């Protein structure tokens, strides 16, 4: 069975630890919260890092890693990333959507596009015909991603602008963070080993994804949950809308 290299294993254990600490911190921050609507933010954000913790643990121990043969080349593929992202990216979008006070249709559209992006990305990671087929899947996934970004900025942005000043400003900080960090994922994928281009090694790629994952989940969570006041305003306007 294929195992992570020593460098990859070290990075993945750091990722595992970071996600564990994030999870504990978010549980502590939400402890004793009585308001049902506000609890949603803590629950969602805690699940994001808890899922990522399990994924990192599986990758660090080698369970989350398989070999895929594509056109005569053997690639080491961390499949567990995609299992993680399939659940955590919709939860991140849900956090943002709740903050923006988004309607059901906007939420469903965002989550649908997001799931399509991750599943077609997984197809690219597992495709065996060759580089062209893998890169074509990357193109399809990136297509979903571009439409997703459009909805994040347009529909969700418009709805967030109706929220109070503090909520709207936390929303823009988080939305910008998502736009910038998430855009780095397809870039790392295409310059890394999944695409077979291998401009950067799997060690470098593992490190880049770890930094991105920690920032996009733990960093995002701290910015979202740091102000109880903002969450209070976001949920009280949601109640007023109901
Ligand atoms: C916590 C994990 C996060 C925020 C992961 C985000 C992942 C993406 C935005 C991935 C996008 C990809 C494409 C747009 C093209 C194909 C490869 C992917 C799956 C890396």
- The full set of domain ranges for the chain reads 6-241
CA distance 23 to 109: 28
User: What number is the average pLDDT over the span 135-153?
Assistant: 98
Looking at residues 7-36, what average pLDDT do you find?
Answer: 97
Express as a percent the part of the chain with pLDDT over 90: 94
| Cβ–ligand 1 contact at 206 (below 6 Å) | no
15 lines ligand 1 (CB under 6 A): no
How does pLDDT run across 34-92, given as a tens digit for each residue?
999 999 999 999 999 999 999 999 999 999 999 999 978 999 999 999 999 999 999 99
Contacts of 168 (CB under 8 A, 6+ apart): 160, 161
Ligand 1 atom nearest residue 188's Cα: 20
Tens-digit pLDDT profile for residues 103-123: 999 999 999 999 999 999 999
List the structure tokens of 169: 């400003």
Most informative mutation of 118, 122, 224 for ligand 1 (most atoms within 8 A of CB): 118
* Report field, pTM of the whole predicted structure over 0.75: yes
6-241 belongs to which CATH class? mainly alpha
Ligand 1 center to residue 186 CA distance, Å? 6
**Does 101 sit in the ligand 1 pocket, CB within 6 Å?**
no
72 burial via Cβ count (<10 Å: 0-12, 13-18, 19+): exposed
Give the CA count within 13 Å in the CB-facing half-sphere of 12. Answer: 26
Q: Is the pLDDT of residue 242 over 60?
A: no
Contacts of 178 (CB under 8 A, 6+ apart): 92, 96, 152, 216, 220
């Amino acid at each position: 069975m294929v195992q992570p290299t020593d460098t990859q294993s070290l990075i993945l254990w750091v990722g595992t630890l970071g996600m564990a600490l994030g999870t504990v911190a978010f549980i502590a921050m939400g402890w004793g919260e009585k308001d049902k609507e506000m609890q949603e933010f803590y629950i969602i954000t805690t699940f994001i890092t808890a899922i990522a913790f399990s994924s990192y643990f599986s990758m660090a121990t080698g369970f989350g890693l398989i070999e895929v043969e594509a056109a005569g080349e053997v690639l080491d593929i961390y499949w567990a990333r995609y299992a993680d992202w399939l659940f955590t990216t919709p939860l991140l979008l849900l956090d943002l959507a709740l903050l923006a006070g988004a309607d059901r249709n906007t939420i469903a559209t965002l989550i649908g596009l997001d799931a399509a992006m991750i599943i077609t990305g997984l197809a690219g990671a597992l495709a065996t015909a060759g580089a062209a087929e893998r890169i074509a899947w990357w193109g399809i996934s990136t297509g979903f991603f571009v439409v997703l970004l459009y909805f994040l900025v347009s529909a969700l942005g418009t709805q967030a602008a109706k929220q109070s000043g503090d909520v709207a400003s936390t929303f823009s900080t988080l939305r910008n963070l998502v736009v910038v960090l998430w855009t780095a994922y397809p870039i790392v994928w295409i310059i890394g080993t999944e695409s077979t281009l291998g401009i950067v090694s799997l060690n470098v790629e593992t490190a880049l994804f770890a930094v991105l994952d920690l920032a996009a989940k733990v960093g995002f969570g701290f910015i979202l949950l740091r102000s109880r006041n903002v969450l209070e305003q976001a949920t009280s306007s949601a109640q007023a809308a109901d």
